[in-house]
Amino acid sequence: MLFCEVYLALQMSFVEYGEYIREGDIAIVFLGHESMFPVKAQHGTQTQTKYGVIRHSSDLIGKRFGSKVTCSKGGWVYVLHPTPELWTQNLPHRTQILYSTDISMITIMLELKPGSVVCESGTGSGSLSHAIIRTIAPTGHLYTVEFHEQRAEKAAEEFREHKVAHLATVKNQDVCKEGFGVVGVADAVFLDIPSPWEAIGHAKAAIKEEGGQMCSFSPCIEQVQRTCLAMHEFGFKEITTLEVLLRIYDVRSVSLQLPDFGDGDSTAERDPKETGTGQQATAVCNSCVTPRGMAGHTGYLTFATKSLL
């Protein structure tokens, strides 16, 4: 009885942790960092993996998120609770998407927090939208505008499936012509469209009268230049463009020669094995090596402030 109560109370959503997998929930089947995919838990359904079949009724539904599930061939996988970060790595791509490195900078610079009201365009594949929704929950709202009808419908369907539809309104319209459908309510506006300079006036109108932040993502510097000019024309302040590059450090063990300070005996003290051989002693230490080339460019993030001053 107690189990049933807990099981019923904690339903999974993308903004709240549910303990047990239920019919209709999304779980991330994790085979390794390079290999994972989302599944929708459904009674009577099976999912194939390279380790064999996962039977939803017996292997998923009723199991705790995070469980190790043994597949039919004896191999095992983890079934993880979805997060916006895992969703970004696993979502069905309808468009280019934003990844967590840029998303984290956008979230910080736009000062998003629970309760924030945000306008976004385009919705695309909903990668950023899910991250925004998680941050502004439980009392904020996302207005997201997408002019491609199927993409708008698919995003709305995903928000329902992920149980966050009450936190987001999807509008199928051209943001450059019709704006966000709301005026004077947003704490922040985000643009990821090919011609953001055409939507700066609508962004300004959507932001609260007392002010707020906006950001535009563009892959090309020519788009950035036009956007900055438009932001300036519409009276935005503190116009700043950033590029976030993720630099991976490779840690390697290297042998370094120990310096000889000329005291005659120092080498022997450090490495007795070398005494009398005439060779200089070495020490093995860990070194961080930076990559020679970086294929890190995703786009430029241009931030600006609407202020009363």
Ligand X SMILES: C[S@@+](CC[C@H](N)C(=O)[O-])C[C@H]1O[C@@H](n2cnc3c(N)ncnc32)[C@H](O)[C@@H]1O
Q: Could you list the residues that contact ligand X (CB under 6 A)?
A: 95-98, 121-122, 124-128, 145-148, 151, 174-176, 192-194
| Under 8 Å between Cβ of 91 and 236 | no
Which pairing describes strands 52-55 and 168-171: parallel, antiparallel, or unpaired? unpaired
Return the DSSP state at 278.
Answer: -
Report the C-alpha gap between 307 and 309 in whole angstroms.
Answer: 5
Report the C-alpha gap between 302 and 218 in whole angstroms.
Answer: 8
Q: Which is nearer to ligand X, 41 or 110 (CB)?
A: 110
Report the C-alpha gap between 187 and 216 in whole angstroms.
Answer: 15
Q: Which is nearer to ligand X, 75 or 194 (CB)?
A: 194
* Tokens at 19, concatenated: 């303990």
Start-to-end C-alpha separation, the chain: 60
Work out how close the CB of 271 gets to ligand X at its nearest, in angstroms, rounded to a whole number. 55
Work out how close the CB of 109 gets to ligand X at its nearest, in angstroms, rounded to a whole number. 16
Work out how close the CB of 232 gets to ligand X at its nearest, in angstroms, rounded to a whole number. 21
Q: Which is nearer to ligand X, 61 or 206 (CB)?
A: 206
Work out how close the CB of 54 gets to ligand X at its nearest, in angstroms, rounded to a whole number. 28
Q: Which is nearer to ligand X, 65 or 87 (CB)?
A: 87
88 three-state secondary structure = helix
Q: Which is nearer to ligand X, 54 or 128 (CB)?
A: 128
Which pairing describes strands 117-121 and 188-191: parallel, antiparallel, or unpaired? parallel
Q: Residue with the closest Cβ to ligand X? A: 122
Work out how close the CB of 206 gets to ligand X at its nearest, in angstroms, rounded to a whole number. 13
